[in-house]
Amino acid sequence: MAATRNQLIGLLLGAEEDWPRAFEQILGLVGPLKVGGESLEVTSERMRISPFDLTDPVRPGLVIDRLAYWYYHPREWLKKAALMNDTYLLNSPFTFQSMEKHSAYCAMLRLGMKIPKTVLVPYKNPVDNVRWAYTSAKYNDRFDLDAIAEEVGYPMYMKPFDGGGWRGVSRVEDKAGLHKSYDESGEMLMHLQATVEYDKFARALSIGPETIVMDFRPEQPMHNRYAVSYDFLSPQAGWEAETVSKVVNAFFAWEFNSAEMLIAGDEVHPIDYANACPDVAVTSLHYYFPWAITALVRWSVFCLATNRPATVDLETRRYYEIADDDSLDYQAKMEGYRRLADEHFDTERYWEFCHEHLAHLPEAVLEWVDSDAFDKILLDTVRSTYPAHEHEKFLAHFRGLVGLWVKDQRSLRGGPSDTPEREAPAEVLGPQEL
């Protein structure tokens, strides 16, 4: 009889309920796995926050963190778990705490990616520190904000150097708007970033080695920002957008992250790609929600099953060696970076593992999404998110989009669809299998 190995996934959560419930239920569909002569059983538990001794044992082998970017007590517990107990973290606070959007811009510029012109300007308001007055008077250079803006070019975006869910982001059209936004920035340290004329705004969500690039419409309300579109980018732009997201994550050892890019023809301009807590709400991802949570389950199970080592060692020099090779053109460098990213995430081995041990999961998830159990999550989420008079409208909206996903998946599998016919959004160009 095969020995049984039990592994626990910890969920470190804040106000979210929809994706954790989905994760728990999809994980329950995995079942015991026979891996390396053992019977592997993976379960999950929502973590509690309490005082801890630095030598306390840590039960989860892997933790999915949604708090550490703003809540410091669990952040420090995560560091202790990683340093003392080899706990695998999605994501590691070590790199996200020190390598925020500003660092990501610098690194990807170093790799030759097409980042729009970006300038960091000093705080508008004094820093809350008794040494500020003396230091600024003695060492801070005076600067001409208008001259810097002219060099960047209008229109531009002013946004915090460390990001934060569109916090403090403003589009600046002219000098008056520049000073208004700067005055309102207060104690936030801000970038001025040029914009580019673009055809599409793309957002990529990456979970381990899996990435999906979505047609994103930031001007729309959240429930309507992700258009259900396939083939909305040229093959080259689609490949490059996917590569940018994978490479950023591998470079910084981030595993659960989103990236935003402006696409002009085949040109891809990354503008935002350091999101420690990427959006995975069913009310925003809708059609793409089943893929996202399934990918999160697959990657978590793979890491535990294969004893993937937890590390914060960044092998940045390997990327710089490609960047500094003058014999390589831009495309060759991107291909080289992607090979390193695939190596980092053990992509080939991951998909072999999924084929051997998790081949049943896509069909099981499809049946689950088409069940009352998933609809209950959707119903509860709509009721807790929107006012009562909008419940019916949003339930119909999300049921239609999720129903379209079910229909598409059944079509891809060559089977009949029991889902009622729904009018597809005009943006839909073709489905992608889970």
Summarised one tens digit per residue, pLDDT across range 35-94 is 988 999 999 999 999 999 999 999 999 999 999 888 999 999 999 999 999 999 998 888
Q: How many CB atoms lie within 10 A of CB 108?
A: 21
Assigned architecture for domain 3-98: 3-Layer(aba) Sandwich (3.40)
The residue assigned the tokens 């989009």 is: 401
User: Mean of the pLDDT values across residues 189-193?
Assistant: 94
Cβ atoms < 10 Å from Cβ of 193:
21
What is the percent of the chain with per-residue pLDDT over 90, rounded to a whole number? 81
Query: Which residues make beta-bridge pairs with 266?
Result: none
Residues 118 and 158: their CA atoms lie apart, in Å, by 10
pLDDT of 422 reads 34
* C-alpha angle 190-187-271 in degrees, rounded to nearest 5: 20
Sign of CA dihedral 237, 239, 242, 245: negative
Nearest residue to 274 (alpha-carbon basis) of 97, 20, 119: 97
Domain ranges of the chain: 3-98, 117-194
Contact (CB, 8 A) for 244 and 107: no
433 versus 236: which is more confidently predicted?
236
Q: Hey, what amino acid is at 319?
A: Y
Q: What is the pLDDT of residue 113?
A: 96
Q: Give pLDDT tens digits for 206-226.
A: 999 999 999 999 999 999 999
Burial of 291 by CB count in 10 Å (0-12 exposed, 13-18 middle, 19+ buried)?
buried
pLDDT-wise least confident of 66-75, 161-170, 293-302, 369-378: 161-170
Nearest residue to 348 (alpha-carbon basis) of 317, 288, 302: 302
Other beta carbons within 10 angstroms of residue 175's beta carbon come to 13
Read off φ and ψ for residue 46, nearest 5 degrees: -80, 125
pLDDT tens string 329-370: 999 999 999 999 999 999 999 999 999 999 999 999 999 999
Query: How far is Cα 424 from Cα 285, in angstroms, rounded to an integer?
Result: 16
Residue 60 has which token pair?
Answer: 């989860």
Exposure string of 3-30, with b = 16+ CB inside 10 Å and e = fewer, is eebebbbbbbbeeeebbbbbbbbbbebb
**224 residue type, one letter:** N
- Residues 42 and 9 sit within 8 Å (Cβ to Cβ): yes
Q: Which pTM was predicted?
A: 0.92
Structure tokens at 312: 């914060």
Return the minimum-mean-pLDDT range out of 159-173, 260-274, 281-295: 159-173
Give 429's pLDDT tier (boundaries 50, 70, 90): very low
> Residue 147 corresponds to which tokens in the numbers above?
């001259």
State the number of CA atoms in the 13 A half-sphere of 88 facing the CB: 20
- Helix residue ranges, H only, 306-360: 316-323, 330-344, 347-357
Which class is 117-194 in CATH?
A: alpha beta
Q: What is the pLDDT of residue 187?
A: 87
Alpha-carbon distance of 414 to 429, in angstroms, equals: 18
pLDDT at residue 126 greater than cutoff 60:
yes
Computed over every residue of the chain, the mean pLDDT equals 92
- Looking at residue 20, its pLDDT comes to 98
Residues pairing with 159 in the sheet: 191
